[in-house]
Structure formats: C-alpha cells, structure tokens
Amino acid sequence: MYASRTEAHQHEKRRRKKKFRLLLTVNLMIIGLIIVAAAVWASMQDGGIFNKDNKQPTQNTAAVDDPDATQPAAEEDPVVSTDPVESSALDDSSAGGAANEEEGTKSEDDSQGGQSDQAATPNGGSTSSGSAAGDTVSLAFVGDILLAESVGDMMKQYGDEYPYQKARFHLSEPDLTAANLEYPVTDRGVPAENKQFVFKGDAGALPALKDAGFDVVTLANNHTLDQGVEGLLDTMDHLDSAGIDHVGAGKNDTEAFAPVIKEVQGIKVAYIGVSRVVPIGSWKAEKDRAGVAESYDTTRAKAAIKKAKEKADIVVVMVHWGIEKADLPEEYQRDFARQYIDSGADLVIGSHPHVLQGFEQYKGKWIAYSLGNFIFSAYPKEKQADTGVLNAVCTKAGDCDLKLDGMTNNLAQPKPLEAESAKALFDRLSTISFGVKLRADGTVVPK
C-alpha cells in the first residue's frame, strides 16, 4: 500500500514549527523597537537632534553610546545547536503556546513549500550530519492506545480530544506519528472466547486521533480480532475513512504483511506491522483468511522487510512481542530485532509489555523493545503509568538520532514530566538498556 503525502498534508505538519519561529522573530523585533524608541526618547531628553532647543549634550549618554543598548541581541537570529545530543527541549510553556495558536494563520512560504534553514531534531536542534532541511524526516512513535473501557469513559465526559491535550505538541510536530492500536473499532462482531480481556471501541474517537497528529497505526497485536473478522474489517474501514493508515492486518496475508509507504520531503518511509503474540492460530492471516501478520517464524517478516526496502529509503518494523510488565525483553526479541535489521529495517519499535523497556543499537540501527502504554487506562499503576513519545530524526540513508520525551499517564492523559522526574525515568531506562544510555534530555546515545 503506497500513500503519497500531499503538499497540504505536509504543510499541516510543518505549520506549527513555522508559526513558532515567526512568533519568536516578531517578539524579538518588537523588543528591539522598544529599546530603540527608548534610546531616542533619552536622546531627546538630553538635547539630541530632536530637542526643540537643539542643544549639544555636554557629555556622552551611556544609553546611546553603549553598543549593547543600540544593537540589542533581540534582533539577532536565535542560535540553533548543531549537535542533537546537546540540544535541549523546548520549554513546555513556549511549545504549548505555539502549538495552541489559532489554526488560521499561515506564513507566505507555506504556499510555496518553503522549508526551515536547518533540519529539525526532535526538539529543535539539527541532525549530527548538519543536513539542510529536506534531507531528514522526523518520526514519532508511541505505545499502546485503547480508546475504550475507562479511557472511553473519560472521553465521554471531557470530549474526544481530551487524551491528547497535554501531549499534542509532541504528537503533531513530527512529520509522521505512529502507534499501536490495541482494540477493534466496531459496533458489531462476536466477542472472542477464552480471553481475559476483550475490547471494542467506537469509530467516533478516530477523527480526534487523526487531528492529534497520528498518521499510521499497527493492528498486529493480540486484540485486533477481539470481535472476530467482522470487527477487523470494520476497523480497517473506519481507519480508512478517518485518513489513518494501518499495517499488520488485512483481508489476507498479502495485505497483512504489506507496508504502508509515506513520502515526506522526498524521503520514503515504509511501515510494517507484525506480531509474535497471537491468541490462537485462526487469527493469523492466510491466503484465503483475514487476520494479522504473525512473526513466530521470521521468514515472512524478513521477506516483507526486504521487499519494502526496495521501495523505500527507511523501513520501520512495529512488532508486538515480549512478556507483559517485564522490564527486560526475552532473548528471542533481541534475536528477532537483529534479523529484522539484517533484512533492511532501520528502526524496530516494540509493544505489548505495557511498560517501557530499554533500547539497543545494532549495526547503527535502533531498537526500542517496548514503548509501554500511551493511552490505555485511566488508572494505570506504577510503571504502567510511565510513557512518552519516541522521536527519531532520520536521514535518507536511514541514519537516525533517537530521543524520548518522557511523560506520565494519569486519568487517560499523558503529560510531559518535569526535569527531575524525567531524569529519574531516563536513568532507570539506562539501567535496562543494552550498550546505550539516555541523557538527561532523553537523547539515546551509546555508553
């Protein structure tokens, strides 16, 4: 499945970035004008050229002669770090202000497809290669999403946009945002038997999910067929209607293993979804049977990755695997991730444990073993409340800088952590990662 990103859709993703820079520039210019006006007023008071008596001052006025006063730093261009590892995150209050600005205004260069002067990292820096804009793509990933059950109750009370309100900036800023959709979207179907948890959600929640910034979801998980094939087919239809691409499931195995390819700024990104957690064999997609793309054996997954790499610059594998609530991945997960990368994957993004797990780098490619829950319960307990948005800024060659924006989830609403709390989370993740660590700003780097 190939989904070319339209010019209007690309502009929608870049609009807030440009607006933030525009607001910053205008504010700095206003400050500069105020300082200049103050200097002119002082000159008038001291007998400057506009003084009605036209008297010459008897001594220099410090406010006029001070180069720092006449050439305020406010008129200079803001400095942008060229090292993504050292660049700090935008202050939440500034970011939120830019993100919540009224939707109507667009800069002139939007209509011409204008780009920023530097390629943005997850938080406003640039990639380590110093590439110009257009040479990188910013990708965001979150863990499990369930817009039903207790989360659905909160949405009925506060509105469909409620879950994303405190995280919207982090979801909408990247060029592409992806998640694991952990429930069928349907009002029909037959509930699966012999399962402890069986989910079902309403299609009315999907427009807000799209508006929050989500572009792609994987359906390769152990809840997609909670309402049978009927529920799966409804889910895919509703996602199509909402404009959200989906991978990892289909009317047959060909559809289930097929990638979605999104093109942004000349870079093609392929998403593939597979699951190593399938409740019963009949859930597996076959030639004549709808279902999910399974990866108990990596053969089909590796073939799909190789095929996608022929068509795309960057291949992302979103995989459902592991043990629930476990801090560390199983040994097979580390083995599978390497096989995926050897087959052409540039990023491997895991889900299913419902808690955050660590990171690893293999042959220069990144593995995130589990992104935990993002919006899954209104009342998560202990580590299940730890979450975040994982950002990857990637070159066309598939080299990525990785950074986690740490968050906590309470009452079905992820919100960014304060600096100290974020550092504590990053320190914990560093202890369960393999050969890498997270810095205080969430950047993932080799130890």
* Over residues 420-425, mean pLDDT: 97
* Over residues 234-253, mean pLDDT: 98
For residue 392, the tally of other CB atoms under 10 A from its CB is 26
235: helix, coil or strand?
A: helix
Quote the CA–CA distance of 164 and 161 in Å, as a whole number.
6
Residue 98 clears pLDDT 60, i.e. is over it: no
The pLDDT value recorded for residue 134 is 55
Q: Which residues pair with 269 in a beta bridge?
A: 262, 314
Residue 97 clears pLDDT 50, i.e. is over it: no
Which residues, 6+ apart, have CB-to-CB distance to 366 below 8 Å? Answer: 346, 347, 348, 359, 360, 392, 400, 402, 444
CA distances (Å), 385 to each of 92, 100, 214, 356, 411, in order? 20, 25, 21, 9, 10
**Residue 208 phi, psi (nearest 5):** -70, -35
Give the residue, 202 or 63, on which the prediction is more confident: 202
pLDDT level of residue 354 (50, 70, 90 thresholds): very high
* Structural tokens at position 249: 């499931």
Q: State pTM to two decimals.
A: 0.74
The pLDDT value recorded for residue 16 is 55
The pLDDT value recorded for residue 83 is 36
316: helix, coil or strand?
A: strand
Per DSSP (E only), the strands in 11-163 are: 136-145
For 329-360, the DSSP string reads --HHHHHHHHHHHHTT-SEEEEESSSSB--EE
The pLDDT value recorded for residue 25 is 64
* Mean pLDDT over each residue of the chain, to the nearest integer: 81
**Residue 275 phi, psi (nearest 5):** -130, 135
Contact 444, 366 (CB under 8 A): yes
Contact 292, 221 (CB under 8 A): yes
Task: Kindly state the percentage of the chain with pLDDT values over 90.
Answer: 70
* Structural tokens at position 81: 């770090």
CATH number, domain 120-446, options 3.40.190.10, 3.50.50.60, 3.60.21.10, 2.60.40.10:
3.60.21.10
Lay out the sheet containing 359-362: strands in order across.
Answer: 2-4, 260-264, 267-275, 314-320, 347-351, 365-368, 359-362
The pLDDT value recorded for residue 222 is 98
Q: Which residues pair with 140 in a beta bridge?
A: 177, 391
Name the residue with tokens 């087959």.
343
The pLDDT value recorded for residue 34 is 72
- Hey, where are the domains in the chain? 8-75, 120-446
The pLDDT value recorded for residue 55 is 34
Quote the CA–CA distance of 107 and 207 in Å, as a whole number.
26
The pLDDT value recorded for residue 441 is 97
Quote the CA–CA distance of 122 and 136 in Å, as a whole number.
11
Name the residue with tokens 């945002």.
177
**Residue 279 phi, psi (nearest 5):** -55, -45
Contact 257, 1 (CB under 8 A): no
Quote the CA–CA distance of 83 and 80 in Å, as a whole number.
9
Q: What is the pLDDT of residues 216-227, one digit of tens each?
A: 999 999 999 999
